[in-house]
Each structure stands twice: as structure tokens, then as C-alpha cells.
């Protein structure tokens, strides 16, 4: 499965990404190897997760979430 996820970082910011192995990817973020952003904004927890059968669908959704305002992301997270 392909996952789109939102991480909440220690400073309260959000990071959005996609992966086909959420456990491995989260561990990489925690170790500072996941992304340039999460290297300097330590991720605390996964606050949103969506599953997709197709990689292309996950990538499209990631793109859409990354272009949302913070308020829109918070609304999405609150619906979990």
C-alpha cells in the first residue's frame, strides 16, 4: 500500500509525505534521514494517514495536501 501522511513536528509545524512503508519511513524521519525539513524540525507523531492502492494516486494526494493552508490541514487532521 501507498500512504500519504502528515507528521506534526516539535515546533508545531506539519510535514506531508508519501511512502510505501510507513514504519520504515517514520523511523528514517526520526533518525534525521527522512527529509531535509524533518532533519531540522524533529517529527513527533503521525497525525494523519491515507492509504492508496496506486502510487500515482498517493503522489497526487500528497501534492494536494502540500498546497493546503494550515487551517485546511488542521481540519483534515481533526476529521480522523
Going from the C-alpha of 67 to that of each of 22, 27, 35, 45, the distances in angstroms are 22, 25, 18, 21
Gyration radius of the chain over CA positions: 12
Question: Per the structure, how many domains does the chain have?
Answer: 1
Residue 78 has pLDDT above 80, yes or no: yes
* pTM score: 0.94
Domain carrying residue 54:
2-78
Distance CA 4, CA 57 (A): 10
Residues 23-49: tens digit of each pLDDT? 999 999 999 898 899 999 998 999 999
Alpha-carbon torsion 8, 9, 15, 21, what sign? negative
User: Cα dist. 41→52, 56, 71 in Å?
Assistant: 27, 27, 20
CATH number of the domain at 64, please: 3.40.1440.10
- What is residue 1's predicted lDDT score, i.e. its pLDDT? 92
Amino acid at each position: 500500500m501507498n500512504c500519504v501522511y502528515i507528521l506534526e513536528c516539535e515546533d508545531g509545524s506539519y510535514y506531508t509525505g508519501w511512502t510505501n512503508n510507513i514504519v520504515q519511513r517514520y523511523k528514517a524521519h526520526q533518525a534525521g534521514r527522512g527529509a531535509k525539513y524533518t532533519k531540522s524540525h524533529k517529527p513527533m507523531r503521525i497525525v494523519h494517514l491515507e492509504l492508496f492502492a496506486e502510487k500515482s494516486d498517493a503522489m497526487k494526494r500528497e501534492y494536494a495536501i502540500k498546497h493546503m493552508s494550515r487551517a485546511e490541514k488542521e481540519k483534515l487532521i481533526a476529521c480522523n
